Structure 1
């Protein structure tokens, strides 16, 4: 979640000073420490035939906001899925702080397509929103990501673009402007998911200070836990048979 200063020309006179202020004062947190993969046993301790879980995306996949990947979205989701399914979960995070969809296609996708996955989640949108990636290009890149992951994953799902209008650390009107654009980008996510036969996951978590990291942008460990719980609830409704298959 960086580079807030990439703004459209018509908005520059009003928003550029705020964007430059955010760039200058924002707290930069590191990515979570390695390892970025792991195996969570089933509740009974079994590790055979694990669900193979992959997350690809931006800073939240990189675990920015927490110290260890086990506290971030990937690790927390793996733990909760293991409890929900009664099955071991083998997980991997392929993320980068500041990543655009184009970066995922170029740099991250090649790292994971040589393995088979049961469930792959694409977690993107903040950086493409703030960098003003054009919506046709955004859709095209999402389509390429989905297609690439469908070749190595039984189920591909896209997550909702985070609602930047709720990021209280951003000043107004910059926050509202990015919030409107994030909503448009999220419509494209839903459109691509429907057109590509992929799933769509809403961001089911509260946007309150108590669930944010010190930078005011990324989730804290508790925020990631709630985000993962929202995903598990949606998966239980939408893909119970596929996720329960051994």
Structure 2
């Protein structure tokens, strides 16, 4: 039985997520931007929080934690590599570790790049991966701490998950990411269709997160550094994919 996953808009453009196991009653929160919307979502469903999963240390992913734990004293899980700058952790995890929410195994992936020590949580039975600011809808996180090679390795790891995986990322940046994506992949019909869909969704006030991994692989330029058309557009035919990715990321930083 897959987990029931709820997307919660927070702050101006963040997302948090609840993942609920009906059989056990356990409920995990992924990231804690602010308490209010998260507590409201729990109350509306009469769910009790059992776990909080933190992806990385940035304030807009952790600052709501104290206010949430006051009402729901849950087990806090985060990266061992990031423990020195995360809120106090009850469980420290690293690449390859597995724990459970109800009967759902949760696999920990090191996706360093945006920060060093950033992790993602993959739930294979629910076909869900929580990527925060690593792989994002039509984008990837700015490289505040890691190198382009690190981020390309992280994105390649995520891209190797099954195509039906749903990507739960941390921000509503998709419309602005689309404006950049079309500049490096201008002849991609799937991207053109996605841009139209994004504009319709945002006009209706609908989130563009989550998205499918298959859609990201077809349209997200940061996953497509090996694509010959993108390489040709950048005059980087047959260049190493990590170098092409670095050029795409540098262009986005200047965009």
Both proteins in one fold, TM over 0.5: no
Q: Which of the two has greater strand per residue? A: 2
Into which bin does the TM-score normalised by the smaller protein fall? 0.3 to 0.5
Q: TM-score, normalised by structure 2?
A: 0.31
Q: Which has the higher contact order (CA 8 A, sep 6+)?
A: 1
Q: Which of the two has greater helix per residue? A: 1
